[in-house]
Amino acid sequence: MKTNIELKGFVEALETGGQMAGRNRTLPILDCVRLTLKEDVLRIVSFNGETGISCPVKVLSTEGDMSVCVDFRSLLQPLRMLNDEVVSIIVDGEDANAVRIEHGNGELKFPALPAVDFPEFGKEEVKSTFMMDGDVLRRWMSLSGKFVADDELRPVMNCMYLYAGNGRCGFCATDSHGLITEETANESCTEETSLLMHSSVFSPAARCFRKSQSVKVRVCDNGAFLSADGVSLYFRKTAGKFPNFRSVIPTESTFSVKADTQELSRNISLAMACSDKTTSIGMSFSDDGMMKISAEDTLAGKSSVTEIHFEESTQPLSIHMKGTYMLSALSAIEGGEARISFISEKRPVMFTPAEGEGPTAIVMPIFGK
In a domain, 199, yes or no: yes
**Confidence category of residue 345, pLDDT binned at 50, 70, 90:** confident
| Domain end among 231, 246, 261 | 246
Residues 68 and 175 in one domain: no
Q: Which domain holds residue 101?
A: 2-117
| Domain end among 76, 96, 117 | 117
Residue 321 has pLDDT above 80, yes or no: yes
Return the pLDDT at 1.
Answer: 84
C-alpha–C-alpha distance, residues 145 and 347, integer Å: 24
Residue with the larger pLDDT of the pair 22 and 214: 214
Residues 85 and 164 in one domain: no
Residues 159 and 237 in one domain: yes
Return the pLDDT at 93.
Answer: 65
Residue 313 has pLDDT above 80, yes or no: no
Residue 368 has pLDDT above 80, yes or no: no
Mean pLDDT (the chain, rounded): 92
Residues 196 and 304 in one domain: no
On whether the CB atoms of residues 36 and 126 are closer than 8 A, the answer is no
Average pLDDT over residues 36-43: 94
**Confidence category of residue 25, pLDDT binned at 50, 70, 90:** low
Return the pLDDT at 109.
Answer: 94
* Helix axes 323-331 and 261-273, enclosed angle (nearest 10): 160
Residues 147 and 242 in one domain: yes
Residues 220 and 298 in one domain: no
b/e map of 194-228 (b: 16 or more CB within 10 Å)?
ebbbbbbbbebbeebbeebeebebbbbeebbbbbb
Q: Dump pLDDT digits (tens) for 205-224.
A: 999 999 999 999 999 999 99
Return the pLDDT at 367.
Answer: 72
Residue 52 has pLDDT above 90, yes or no: yes
Q: Dump pLDDT digits (tens) for 56-68.
A: 999 999 988 889 9
List 352's β-bridge partners, or say none. Answer: 339
Among the ranges given (201-205, 225-229, 238-242, 363-367), the one the predictor scored with the smallest mean pLDDT: 363-367
Q: Distance from CA of residue 55 to its chain's centroid? A: 19
In a domain, 286, yes or no: yes
**Alpha-carbon distance values, 175 to 55, 282, 300 (Å):** 33, 21, 30
Q: Dump pLDDT digits (tens) for 75-112.
A: 999 999 999 999 999 997 655 789 999 999 999 999 99
Residue 251 burial by CB count (10 A; 0-12/13-18/19+): exposed, middle or buried? Answer: exposed
In a domain, 156, yes or no: yes
Return the pLDDT at 261.
Answer: 94
Residues 112 and 40 in one domain: yes
β-strand pairing of 317-321 with 281-285: antiparallel
Residue 329 has pLDDT above 80, yes or no: yes
Residues 174 and 229 in one domain: yes
In a domain, 369, yes or no: no
Task: Specify the amino acid at residue 136.
Answer: V
Residues 149 and 257 in one domain: no
Residues 191 and 262 in one domain: no
Percent of the chain at pLDDT above 90?
75
In a domain, 162, yes or no: yes
- Who's near 15: CB < 8 A, 6+ residues apart? 76, 207
Residue with the larger pLDDT of the pair 1 and 67: 67
Q: Dump pLDDT digits (tens) for 139-190.
A: 999 999 999 999 888 999 999 999 999 999 999 999 999 999 999 999 999 9
On whether the CB atoms of residues 347 and 253 are closer than 8 A, the answer is no
Residue 287 has pLDDT above 90, yes or no: no
Residues 83 and 138 in one domain: no
C-alpha–C-alpha distance, residues 47 and 91, integer Å: 22
Q: Distance from CA of residue 38 to its chain's centroid? A: 31
Q: What are phi and psi of 244, to 5 degrees?
A: -75, 85
List 33's β-bridge partners, or say none. Answer: 70
Residues 22 and 106 in one domain: yes
| Domain end among 66, 99, 117 | 117
In a domain, 368, yes or no: no
Return the pLDDT at 61.
Answer: 93
* Count: domains in the chain: 3
CATH of the domain at 38: 3.10.150.10
Other Cβ atoms less than 10 A from the Cβ of 187: the count is 10
Other Cβ atoms less than 10 A from the Cβ of 106: the count is 7
Percent of the chain at pLDDT above 70?
98
Average pLDDT over residues 187-205: 96
Residue 314 has pLDDT above 90, yes or no: no
Residue 369 has pLDDT above 80, yes or no: no
